[in-house]
Amino acid sequence: MNDTNPMEWTMKDDIYWMRKVIRLAEKGRGRTSPNPMVGAILVKDGIPVGEGYHAKAGEPHAEIIALQKAGDKARGATLYINLEPCSHYGKTPPCAPALIEAGVKKVVVGMEDPNPLVKGRGLEMLRNNGIHVEVGVFKQACLELNEAFSKYIQSGKPFVTLKIAATLDGKIATKQGESKWITGESSRRFVHRLRNSADAIIIGIGTILRDDPLLTARMKGGRDPYRIVLDSRLRILEGAKVIHQKPEKTIIATTESAPKEKREALEKKGVQVMTLEAQQGRVNLRSLLSRLGEMEMTSLLVEGGSEINGSFLNEGLIDKLFLFLSPKVLGGQALEMFGGKGVETLEKALLLNRLKMRRVGEDILIEGYPKKVCSQGS
Residues 6 or more apart from 249 whose CB is under 8 A from it? 224, 225, 226, 227
CA distance 87 to 129: 13
Angle at 189 between CA 199 and CA 56, to 5 degrees: 35
C-alpha 343: how far from chain center: 28
Exactly one of 8, 51, 63, 144 is catalytic; name it.
Answer: 63
Asked whether 299 and 199 are in contact (CB, 8 A), the reply is yes
Dihedral over alpha carbons 19, 25, 30, 33 (to 10 degrees): -130
Cα–Cα distance list, 249 to 162, 197, 202, 259, 339 (Å):
20, 15, 12, 22, 28
For residue 336, indicate whether it is catalytic.
no
Radius of gyration of the chain (CA): 23
- What is d(CA 323, CA 166) in angstroms, rounded to the nearest whole number? 7
What one-letter code names the amino acid at 10?
A: T
Report whether 271 contacts 264 (CB < 8 A).
no
Max intra-chain CA distance, the chain:
79
Q: Which residue type sits at 214? A: L
Angle subtended at Cα 169 by Cα 166 and Cα 170, rounded to the nearest 5 degrees: 40
Nearest to 176 by CA among 130, 210, 221, 219: 210
- Residue 37 — left, alpha, or beta (φ > 0 → left; ψ -120 to 50 → alpha)? beta
> Distance between CA atoms of 378 and 354, rounded to whole angstroms?
11
Q: How far apart are CA 68 and CA 261, in angstroms?
A: 55
Q: Residues with catalytic annotation?
A: 63
